[in-house]
């Protein structure tokens, strides 16, 4: 069994981070490029005779704690800092401000998830 994310998993976080970076930069998650729900089946089929994809029911990550949100954005700096032209601390602050705006207007931030598994035999 192999569990992985879909390419649009947590796209709401990516959208906020991309807004904070600006310049039409796109946040490409490393796992999406190497092994995701969209491309993992083909890779596993090279080794296993039967590969079945099982998608988890869609759900939302509900953000009500701005500190947890900004902590997550700060924690991914190692993956993305070299791709952007601003200090990652500025990106974190911009993402915090955008999240705060959404929390103020809606009381929460809902971010859809996309995860699943491959059952291989």
CA distance 72 to 15: 14
Mean pLDDT of the 64-90 span: 95
Q: What share of the chain is helix, strand, coil (3-state, %, to 5)?
A: 50, 20, 35
Mean pLDDT of the 59-78 span: 95
Rounded to a whole number of angstroms, the distance between the first and last alpha carbons of the chain is 9
CA distance 53 to 39: 11
The predicted-structure confidence for 11-31, as pLDDT tens digits, reads as follows 999 999 999 999 899 998 776
Which parts of 22-87 fold into alpha helices (H)? 30-34, 40-45, 66-75, 77-80
Answer for the pair 45, 51: CB distance below 8 angstroms, yes or no: yes
- Residue 33 pLDDT class (50, 70, 90 cuts): confident
Mean pLDDT of the 51-66 span: 96
The predicted-structure confidence for 95-121, as pLDDT tens digits, reads as follows 999 999 999 999 999 999 999 999 999
CA distance 95 to 52: 37
Please report the pLDDT score of residue 43 as a whole number.
Answer: 95
CA distance 11 to 114: 9
Mean pLDDT of the 92-96 span: 97
Please report the pLDDT score of residue 29 as a whole number.
Answer: 76
Give this prediction's pTM. Answer: 0.84
- At residue 120, the 3 state secondary structure works out as strand
| Residue 62, pLDDT above cutoff 90 | yes
Please report the pLDDT score of residue 96 as a whole number.
Answer: 97
For residue 88 the two structure tokens come to 């990652």
CA distance 117 to 76: 24
């Amino acid at each position: 069994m192999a569990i992985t994310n879909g390419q649009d998993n947590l796209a709401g976080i990516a959208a906020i981070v991309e807004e904070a970076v600006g310049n039409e930069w796109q946040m490409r998650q490393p796992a999406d490029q190497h092994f995701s729900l969209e491309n993992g089946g083909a890779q596993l089929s090279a080794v296993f005779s039967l590969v079945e994809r099982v998608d988890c029911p869609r759900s939302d990550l509900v953000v009500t704690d701005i500190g947890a949100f900004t902590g997550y954005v700060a924690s991914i700096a190692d993956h993305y800092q070299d791709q952007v032209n601003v200090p990652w601390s500025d990106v974190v602050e911009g993402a915090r401000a955008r999240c705060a705006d959404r929390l103020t207007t809606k009381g929460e931030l809902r971010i859809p998830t996309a995860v699943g598994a491959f059952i291989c035999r």
